[in-house]
Amino acid sequence: MPHAVFPNSFNAGVSQAEQRFKEFERILLYNWSTYLANPSMWFVVIDKIPNALINMNNDNTLNKEGPNKYTQFTMNQQNLFNVIENGVGCMIIHGVVLPTIEASGGRESPAMGGYYGGVVMDSINEQAQLTLQFRETHSSALDFIFRPWVELSAKNGAIARPPGDPRFIKCNITVMQTGIVGGASDPIIRKAWRFNNCQPTSVANTSLAHDGTWGAADMYVNTEWVYSDYDLHDVEMDNMSALYDQHDKSGQGVEAMRQGHFTRGPMNVQL
């Protein structure tokens, strides 16, 4: 855009640079929707462990087929099931790697006497893989739940089956990302990924050693999952920035915190 007058803000009384500065401040500090998200505010919900994994004893079909064999006491297994299927979140998950998405594109080979070729797009290339990092725990979900589950993935494949089918081994995994909404309020779910028809494909190896010290990171193990598709949900409150502004200015949150109370967040995403 051509400039009719070289810098003219003195005469006009308006500085475009200052407007940009103020706009940056507004979106960073005064607008809930564009506030910097906190990367550690998230949790994962796994809705269902396959029935084929229940009662991991000699009568289990997986054990009968072999060659590997898993033996787990019922109550220990139930304890792990409760932890993994807990509706408030599976708290033995330490980390999540969300999938990338890309569509490759570029120019065709130069043609027509040295002119650039046109830009063309290839089909979408989505990484249909979700990584969940679990903590190895005394009673091992990694080796008594997810390891045999990977075997089920290999034996039963990825064929769509109804939930009642004993070979139904898929689950839905929801990754909730939350955002702060006040000093004394529960965070709200600002974004939710629901990965549909998930099944694990690998449990990473672990190394054991007699080193003198160890850190928790030594007990973090990656599992890889495939899924058919995902649904992405925005925060389920329209005009969230205005709502937050109203809540913030009311002073209720701060007053509640001063009195030692915490308010419940206004809503949760219903998937």
Partner 1 sequence: MANHLVENYSIDKFYANVIRHEFSRQHQWRITNIRTGNDGLNGFIRSENPETHLLVESASIPARSINNVPVNFHGIDFNLPGNAKYTGSDSWQTTWRVDQKLNLRRVMEEWQTFVFNDRISGGSITRANDASLTMTLFDQFGMSHSTYTLYGIYPTEVGALDYNVGTDGDIVTMNVTFAYHYWDRGGVTAATMNEPINGPEVGGPSTSQTQQLGDGL
State which residue, 65 or 255, has the beta carbon closest to partner 1.
255
Minimal distance in Å, beta carbon 30 to partner 1?
Answer: 12
Q: Name the token pair of 201.
A: 């494909």
Minimal distance in Å, beta carbon 28 to partner 1?
Answer: 6
Phi/psi for 234 (5° steps) reads -80, 170
Name the residue among 167, 157, 162, 138 with its Cα closest to residue 51.
167
Count of residues that bind partner 1 according to CB under 8 A: 11
Minimal distance in Å, beta carbon 177 to partner 1?
Answer: 15
Q: Which residues contact 13 (CB under 8 A, 6 or more apart)?
A: none
Task: Print the binding letters for residues 112-131 with partner 1: x by CB under 8 A, - otherwise.
Answer: --------------------
- Strands 119-126 and 129-135, bridge-based pairing: unpaired
Q: Tell which positions 139-168 bind partner 1, by CB under 8 A.
A: none
Contact status, residue 146 vs residue 138, Cβ threshold 8 Å: no
Contact status, residue 179 vs residue 34, Cβ threshold 8 Å: no
Task: Print the binding letters for residues 238-267 with partner 1: x by CB under 8 A, - otherwise.
Answer: --------------------xxx-------
Name the residue among 64, 271, 45 with its Cα closest to residue 166.
64
Minimal distance in Å, beta carbon 29 to partner 1?
Answer: 7
State which residue, 25 or 231, has the beta carbon closest to partner 1.
25
- Separation between Cα atoms, residue 204 and residue 208, nearest integer Å: 13
State which residue, 15 or 125, has the beta carbon closest to partner 1.
15
Minimal distance in Å, beta carbon 263 to partner 1?
Answer: 16
Q: In terms of C-beta distances under 8 Å and separation of at least 24 residues, what long-range contacts does 109-117 make, across chains too?
A: none
Minimal distance in Å, beta carbon 40 to partner 1?
Answer: 6
Name the residue among 95, 51, 61 with its Cα closest to residue 222.
95
Q: Tell which positions 16-45 bind partner 1, by CB under 8 A.
A: 21, 24-25, 28-29, 36, 38, 40
User: Which parts of this chain interact with partner 1 (CB under 8 A)?
Assistant: 21, 24-25, 28-29, 36, 38, 40, 258-260
